[in-house]
Amino acid sequence: MIQNPILPGFCPDPSIIRVGEDYYIANSSFEWWPGVKIYHSKDLKHYEQLPSPLNRMSQLNMVGEGDSCGVWAPDISWDGEYFWLIYTDVKTRTGGLFNTHNYLVKSKDIRGGWSEPVYLNSSGFDPSVFHDTDGKMYIVNMINNFKGILVQEYDPVQERLVGEAKNVFPGTGRGYTEGPHIYHIGEYYYLLMAEGGTGYDHMVTMARAKSIWGPYEEDPGNPVLTSDMENPDALQRCGHADIVCTQKGEWYMVHLCGRPPKGSGQCVLGRETAIQKMVWNEEGWLRMACGGNFGQWETEEPEGLVECLFPEEAGKDYGRDDFDIEILAHGKSGGDFENNISKNKSSEYLDVRYTSLRQPYDSYTSLTERPGYLRLYGQESLNSCYDVSLVARRQMERHVQVETCVEFTPTCREQMAGLAYMYDTGNFYLLVKTRDEEFGNQNLDLKRPAKLRLIKSDHFDVTDAIPEIDIPEDEPLFLRVVTTQEGLYAKFFYSLDGKEYKELTELPTKILTDEQSDGFTGAHFGMYCHDMTGLRRYADFDYFEIIKK
């Protein structure tokens, strides 16, 4: 059996394709950089993360965009020669006034070489590409304010939309019609949609027609997939789906889901990706192979597919990451950081699982200035939508222990560095080293103790969760967060020697959930530094460790 979710933690809005014996899933990334997460599998059970396709500012510029804006619901496809990726860059999402710009890129290699984007339209989000059997290409997207599904032909030679854009289906009446995909199977064009909103009423619906332009008839068995909200142990928030056919002709649906602890209604892990085996009934409609329409925790694995673990899979999601550039340069590290070195240029990259906010991290990080450490130069504070120095990873399980060691010499209260446990610019915890001196104090005595602060931000209401603690100025500071009680709480610790840890407090993680934050992402742990004076004072991080508890 395949256990759900297949992609745990912040991995929403999946799109899937098969190319020969390989399966690829693309997920939304919102304000997190680089844009779009791509996962590769050979058995629909085990996955490796590939480099993100949108890794240049010329492809995606999210600086200044609000929380949970950025890249929404990408769609990946393949025409036999090129991989195509279509995505929305959402600039604003307030008051029903969504500014949504849709772009298309392509590449012959899914691992790199993606083109500059072609602008398509701004009429709605969740676009997909449909390659018809006659070779024509179409762009499909929902219409802003959920007014239906728009279809328009695309000319790949001219690289532009052609012909008339038509609203082919208004939705089933269940509301929030989005996430459309079209498939030409047999004599029908099948339209798969997400409806009901992306919360606990989320669902997957279907309609079909004998022409891509309609008229579409609704599946009498809708919804095809949803959640058993009466069962607190059930997989929740099931919706926003895509389907794929295996080499043996079996059908699978990947879909969005959520895992709130029983009775809590709090998804600190955000929206994740699950999979269900599907079948076609005698009337030509798609149904769950296990019967019913509720998302399940496990599903039958494909026939004839050999289990395929990737070489780096063992321990890749957890463990300690050291910043040893010399070892990494020779390709001998079992860790997560790589250094691509050519004869002419040296480029530093963290592993593909690490992410930053709204723009690349290279402008404020270095792995070479102090070998064995990741250096972060402080910029704006975490509540900024512009220049924030944060390198993070998503939370993937309810029970984890996260730890880092930071060396930092702040001179004033506007400078701080340490460990972030955050959801977005308005909702986070910061366990940081700082000082309480005024900026510009000429009589600063660096022998005085620095300060350890635990800062809480709840919808931009910033407070200290505990009184400040005096700590030595020049010594390394070890910081730790441990999630408890099914992930509903987190304990915060610090140590001066890396051996004896002192517990500071235990706090609820509610502020880091979709439900509390009104967002679409998920909780992240990260190394963080800010310097609001503009002097870019730096912090050095010795390691970053995530352990599944």
Q: How big is the chain, counted in residues?
A: 549
CA 220 from centre of chain: 34
Residue 217 pairs in a beta bridge with: 208
Neighbouring C-beta atoms of residue 294, cutoff 10 Å = 20
How far from 309 is each of 6, 45, 268, 508, CA to CA, in Å?
A: 14, 9, 28, 36
Q: Read off the tokens for 549.
A: 């508890």
Question: What letter does residue 328 receive in the DSSP assignment?
Answer: H
Residue 172 identity (one-letter amino acid): T
C-alpha span between 53 and 37 (Å, rounded): 8
Q: Identify which of 66, 122, 118, 73 has the alpha carbon closest to the alpha carbon of residue 92.
A: 66
> Residue 407: CB partners within 8 Å, gap ≥ 6?
373, 476, 477, 539, 540, 542
Question: What letter does residue 216 receive in the DSSP assignment?
Answer: P
Burial tier of 38 (Cβ tally within 10 Å: 0-12, 13-18, 19+):
buried
217-218: strand order across its sheet: 178-185, 188-195, 203-209, 217-218
Query: What is 395-423 written as a DSSP string?
Result: --SSSEEEEEEEE----STTEEEEEEEEE
How far from 351 is each of 198, 317, 371, 413, CA to CA, in Å?
A: 30, 11, 17, 32
Catalytic residues: 13, 178
Neighbouring C-beta atoms of residue 413, cutoff 10 Å = 15
Residue 482 pairs in a beta bridge with: 401, 491
Residue 525 identity (one-letter amino acid): F
Residue 211 identity (one-letter amino acid): S
C-alpha span between 344 and 468 (Å, rounded): 48
Neighbouring C-beta atoms of residue 470, cutoff 10 Å = 10
